[in-house]
Chains A and B, each alone.
Chain A
Amino acid sequence: MKRIAGFALNYYKIILLFAILSVSSSVTQDPLQNIKNMIMIQAPFVMIYSFGMTLAVITGGLDLSLGSVAAFSTCAAAFLIIKDQIFLGIAVCLLIGAGLGLLNGLLITKAKVNPFIATYGMDWVIRGAVYIMMSGAMIYHFSNDFKIIADGSFLGISNLVYISVAILLILMFVFQKTVFGRNVYSTGANTKVSRLTGVNTDLLIIIVYMISGVLASTSGLLYVARLDCAEAFLGKNFGLQALAATLIGGTSLQGGKGGVGNTVIGVLIMVFLMNCLNVLKVSTLWQDAVFGLVIVVSALLEMAKQRYANYLQL
């Protein structure tokens, strides 16, 4: 009995995932296409910017400016891409993402502003800047060479999957297997100890926010490529959605725990659940309430899991 409970606690998210999937599959006529939609198209977008949030959360902070960073960088880049300077445009987009991340990081480490309010303030500033920059314009009808990034597929699998899996693998490698990643975790768990062990914690945190910015602009770029339009209000709900996915995935706000792997599960739960509600024909009005419940329940289960793990170790 105890063993079953332990198993359930350790793998409850996977169990939940399959439960949701089987419900939604049983009511749809084309479950395969449905799963394909979710995994190949819907999840990758959310995943990439959620990774950014996850990394920020691992350092013990959070990044509420993801959406506006995505909007600003893609809108700026779109001016170039529309003139068919695709590579330059992409480079500019990612650079702007990194630059805005740098600003966040500097505010947090050097000016010592709490990450919550720092990234929230930055969100306003950047969003304002992109509105001013676009002043009501939209940029659309990009060339196919650019759109193929998000639209194309290889061996029947969407490019989005390749891109997001590649990003996932790189991030997993960097954050699980390298000295840099290890130090990020240590810094998140206890910044002071890490600094007293000779880690340049400020630099690490800045780099993480830069990566987070780059991830935000990457996902923004993919949206632009997929939907063929760059506009100023892209990503208004990125921040809160990414936070929800990260929390459902089980990355703790205390920092130093969890990881992008968890967030994959968190994103899948979110996407599957949203889809499940849709195919079950549940009114959209219920969505918010259901999400709130899922976050509470997963946080409580996560806590139970921690207690159980501690209990086992004693």
Chain B
Amino acid sequence: MKKNNYSRYREITGLLAGVLVLFIFMSFAAEGFFGWYNLHNVLKDLLILMVVASGMTLVILLGKIDMSAGSVMSLASIVTTLLLSYGFNIVFALLAGLLAGAIIGFLNGYLVGVLNLNHFVATFATMSIAKGLALVACNGDIISSDSDVLLFIGTGKIFGLFFIVWFAAILLIIMFFLSTKTKFGYKIYSIGGSEQVARLSGIKTSNVYLLTYVIAGVLAAVGGIFMSGKANSGNATIGDGYEFSVIATVLIGGTPFEGGKGGLLGTLIGAMFLAILKNGLSMLGFTPAWQYALIGLAILIAIVADVSINERRKAEEKRRIKL
């Protein structure tokens, strides 16, 4: 039994080792890296990334993609702060922000799961739509918020830990639970493994698509609200390009585009990798130009390493099973 548990996590041990090496290296090399203040902030940023990436992980586990995540963050940020600035109740504003994410998510799910549109095309389009709606709603302006609650969400601490850390941790536990222990999570893995097999097993795929995209939308909205909490203002550019970081995180974490394998644990390690790398490179004093090149290189190396390990395994498995 032990052997099997091992094999389940074998795929992420390499990456975990990489993260540890990176961490140790940065601790020695980068001044100010190894310290509670900095690590606490890194933790906060990586958890924001992770919240959005956990929704993306589910989508990629299904064998799909969600290009609209970044735009949904911007939209949620704008909706929430805009309503706050009109004097609405904070709870209402937050819920409206989440609802905006859910609506875009539903649109994605409907286009992909019900109308059978190509997932990339559909979410690529909603990416523009959500960004456009955010810009139109805020009239191209930055919206400041006077809400102490929103500020607390972004920067407040409970028992010495950031609110975001607590909240994200709970959220991630729920997501982890959802994806590995519940019927819904099982369905995601089944559909991602083979849509045909899932259908033959009587799973209604369109519902799973809808729900997964809605969850991804809501989680992206949570990420957007966290971000606007950190800045205590709403900005339609908050999530520009964020979807790419999120997708890179998921892929580095060992959940490939084919779907059906991988999971949140890997994504968490992927998020650690990217967050530590970014923070460390910046602490080491690399200019943005060098950071561009080095981050890109690190992503490629991580993926190539992962691919070459999995490629060998895949060749094995191809001979064994035919689907």
User: Do the two chains touch directly in the complex (Cβ atoms below 8 Å apart)?
Assistant: yes
A294 → chain B closest CB, angstroms: 8
State whether the Cβ of A285 lies closer than 8 Å to any Cβ in chain B. yes
The answer to whether A299 touches B122 (Cβ under 8 A) is: yes
Contact of A124 with B296 at beta-carbon distance under 8 Å, contacts A117-B251, A132-B290, A254-B118 already known: yes
Interfacial residues of chain B within 284-302, with CB under 8 A of chain A in the complex: 287-297, 299-300
State whether the Cβ of B136 lies closer than 8 Å to any Cβ in chain A. yes
Interfacial residues of chain B within 101-155, with CB under 8 A of chain A in the complex: 111, 115-118, 120-122, 124-133, 135-136, 139-140
Cβ contacts under 8 Å, B295 to chain A: 124, 128
A262 to B135, CA, bound (A): 31
State whether the Cβ of A5 lies closer than 8 Å to any Cβ in chain B. no
A253 to B112, CA, bound (A): 14
A13 to B122, CA, bound (A): 19
Q: How many residues of A contact B (CB 8 A)?
A: 42
Interfacial residues of chain B within 253-306, with CB under 8 A of chain A in the complex: 256-257, 287-297, 299-300, 303-304
Cβ contacts under 8 Å, B294 to chain A: 128
The answer to whether A120 touches B248 (Cβ under 8 A) is: yes
The answer to whether B132 touches A286 (Cβ under 8 A) is: yes
Checking A132, A252, A292 against B126 with a beta-carbon cut-off of 8 angstroms, the contacting residue is A292
Cβ contacts under 8 Å, A127 to chain B: 292-293, 296
Cβ contacts under 8 Å, B288 to chain A: 131
Cβ contacts under 8 Å, A107 to chain B: 300, 304
Count of chain A to chain B residue pairs whose CB atoms are closer than 8 Å in the complex: 136
Residue of A nearest to B251 (CB): A117
State whether the Cβ of B182 lies closer than 8 Å to any Cβ in chain A. no
Interfacial residues of chain A within 96-150, with CB under 8 A of chain B in the complex: 107, 111-114, 116-118, 120-129, 131-132, 135
The answer to whether A285 touches B140 (Cβ under 8 A) is: yes
A126 to B299, CA, bound (A): 13
State whether the Cβ of B52 lies closer than 8 Å to any Cβ in chain A. no
Interfacial residues of chain B within 19-33, with CB under 8 A of chain A in the complex: none
B130 → chain A closest CB, angstroms: 8
A231 to B224, CA, bound (A): 33
The answer to whether A285 touches B136 (Cβ under 8 A) is: yes
A123 to B299, CA, bound (A): 11
Cβ contacts under 8 Å, A125 to chain B: 292-293, 296-297, 300
A119 to B306, CA, bound (A): 17
B167 → chain A closest CB, angstroms: 30
Residue of B nearest to A240 (CB): B124
Residue of A nearest to B252 (CB): A117
The answer to whether A117 touches B135 (Cβ under 8 A) is: no
The answer to whether B129 touches A124 (Cβ under 8 A) is: no
State whether the Cβ of B16 lies closer than 8 Å to any Cβ in chain A. no
The answer to whether A287 touches B132 (Cβ under 8 A) is: yes
B94 → chain A closest CB, angstroms: 24
Checking B124, B128, B291, B299 against A121 with a beta-carbon cut-off of 8 angstroms, the contacting residue is B299
Between B117, B122, B289, the greatest number of chain A beta carbons within 10 A of the residue's beta carbon is seen for: B289
A152 to B100, CA, bound (A): 50
The answer to whether B128 touches A288 (Cβ under 8 A) is: yes
Contact of A292 with B128 at beta-carbon distance under 8 Å, contacts A114-B256, A135-B289 already known: yes
The answer to whether A295 touches B132 (Cβ under 8 A) is: no
Cβ contacts under 8 Å, B118 to chain A: 252-254, 299
State whether the Cβ of B53 lies closer than 8 Å to any Cβ in chain A. no
B270 → chain A closest CB, angstroms: 12
A265 → chain B closest CB, angstroms: 16
A242 to B108, CA, bound (A): 22
State whether the Cβ of A296 lies closer than 8 Å to any Cβ in chain B. yes
A240 to B64, CA, bound (A): 19
A135 to B292, CA, bound (A): 13
Cβ contacts under 8 Å, B131 to chain A: 288-289, 292
The answer to whether B132 touches A285 (Cβ under 8 A) is: yes
A220 to B293, CA, bound (A): 20
Contact of A129 with B293 at beta-carbon distance under 8 Å, contacts A124-B299, A286-B132 already known: yes
Contact of A303 with B116 at beta-carbon distance under 8 Å, contacts A107-B304, A120-B248 already known: yes
Cβ contacts under 8 Å, A290 to chain B: 132
State whether the Cβ of A300 lies closer than 8 Å to any Cβ in chain B. yes
The answer to whether B296 touches A123 (Cβ under 8 A) is: yes
Cβ contacts under 8 Å, B287 to chain A: 131
Checking A117, A243, A253, A303 against B299 with a beta-carbon cut-off of 8 angstroms, the contacting residue is A117
State whether the Cβ of A208 lies closer than 8 Å to any Cβ in chain B. no
Residue of B nearest to A129 (CB): B293
Checking B120, B248, B291, B296 against A122 with a beta-carbon cut-off of 8 angstroms, the contacting residue is B296
Between A107, A122, A125, A244, the greatest number of chain B beta carbons within 10 A of the residue's beta carbon is seen for: A125
The answer to whether A117 touches B248 (Cβ under 8 A) is: yes
The answer to whether A285 touches B297 (Cβ under 8 A) is: no
State whether the Cβ of A293 lies closer than 8 Å to any Cβ in chain B. yes
The answer to whether B129 touches A293 (Cβ under 8 A) is: yes
State whether the Cβ of A247 lies closer than 8 Å to any Cβ in chain B. yes
CB<8 Å pairs between A and B, sample of 10 = A113-B304, A118-B303, A120-B247, A135-B289, A286-B132, A292-B127, A292-B130, A295-B121, A296-B126, A300-B117
Q: A126-B296, A247-B121 are in contact. List 14 more A-B contacts (CB 8 A).
A: A117-B247, A117-B251, A120-B244, A120-B299, A121-B248, A124-B296, A127-B293, A253-B121, A286-B136, A288-B129, A289-B135, A292-B126, A295-B121, A303-B117
Report which B residues bind A (CB closer than 8 A): 111, 115-118, 120-122, 124-133, 135-136, 139-140, 244, 247-248, 251, 256-257, 287-297, 299-300, 303-304, 307-308, 311
